Every structure is written in C-alpha cells, then in structure tokens.
Amino acid sequence: MRWASIRASPDRNRRHRAAGQPLRRQQGVREAVGALYADKHGLGVTCLRIGNFGDKPLDHRRLSIWLKPEDLVQLCRIGLDHPDIRFEIFYGASYNERSWWDNHRAYDLGYRPTGRAEDFREHAFAEQARLPPDPVGDFYQGGAFCSMEFDGDTSRIVDWK
C-alpha cells in the first residue's frame, strides 16, 4: 500500500525527528500528493528531502545532514535521467558518515556523492564551540526550529548519556 510506505520512512534513527513533527507532516502531505499524482496520472515524481545545503557543514549536527551543491545537482539529474521512476524519495545528503538517513535508492540509481562531511569535521566542531548550548536543537534534525516554543521535559525525550 503506497500510503503506508510513505509514513514508514527508512530513517535509521527515528528519535531525531520527533520534535520537528509539524514540518514532517507538511512534508508528508506534499509527498503523499506526489505519490497520488504518480499513481493516478502516471507522472514521474522524485521528492528530495534536503538536509543542509552549503559549501561545508557549519556545526556538529550538520555533519549528519550536509549536502554539497554538486551533489544536489547529481540528485536532480537522477530524477531527470530516469524516465522509469514512478515515485521516489531521496535524501539530499552528501557522503556523511554520521548520516541519520538510508539513501540506498539514490545509490541504486547511480548517486555517487563527491562531498564528504568528515573532511570538515574540525571546522564544524570549532563553529559548534562558538554557539550557545542548545540541547534540543543540537539533537534533532530540525535544529533550532525544534527548540522554538519547546517547553517539554528533555529528560523524557532524550537520553543524554
């Protein structure tokens, strides 16, 4: 069933998503509409879940989600160069050893990222040291957006050890 496969995304570490649920719901609706049009009208739909786009990862959290500009181009080309794609979701992430996402479908279709986040590890850690601590934003994929209006008990959602 198409809708069940959209809701059960292949994220390896689901706990990192929880605080950003409103954004995830909006994204899920757009992806569901894409799947509907792919099924109902035969369109080829490729969705990209873009992590953090830029020349280099800017902090510790972004070492997991960084996307080099050239790698974004490559992901877009996969969607354009494969007319047999009916509906796919790719993660917009370069080669990140700390990645939270399983992007095997993109790799199956020829994705070979050239960016490697660990090459910028020292820079990211130096920049992280300059930022004020944000235990919620540093932990979740949504970063500082997850901290906004957060008034929950962090000990109930995060194992700090």
Tens digit of each residue's pLDDT (9 = 90 or more) over 93-120: 999 999 989 999 999 999 999 999 999 9
How many Cβ atoms sit within 10 Å of the Cβ of residue 108?
10
Q: What's the mean pLDDT when you consider all of the chain?
A: 83
The domain limits of the chain are: 2-157
Question: In the predicted model, is pLDDT for residue 37 greater than 70?
Answer: yes
Give yes or no for a contact between 115 and 156, defined as CB atoms under 8 angstroms apart.
no
Distance in angstroms (rounded) separating the CA atoms of residues 146 and 41: 36
Length of the chain: 161
Structure tokens given for 121: 């590890």
Q: What is the pLDDT of residues 68-77, one digit of tens each?
A: 999 999 999 9
Residue 127 is encoded by which pair of tokens? Answer: 């920049």
Asked if the model's pLDDT at residue 19 lies above 80, the reply is no
Helices in the chain by DSSP H: which ranges?
2-7, 21-41, 69-81, 104-108, 121-130, 135-139, 144-147, 154-157
Is 17 a residue whose pLDDT tops 70? no
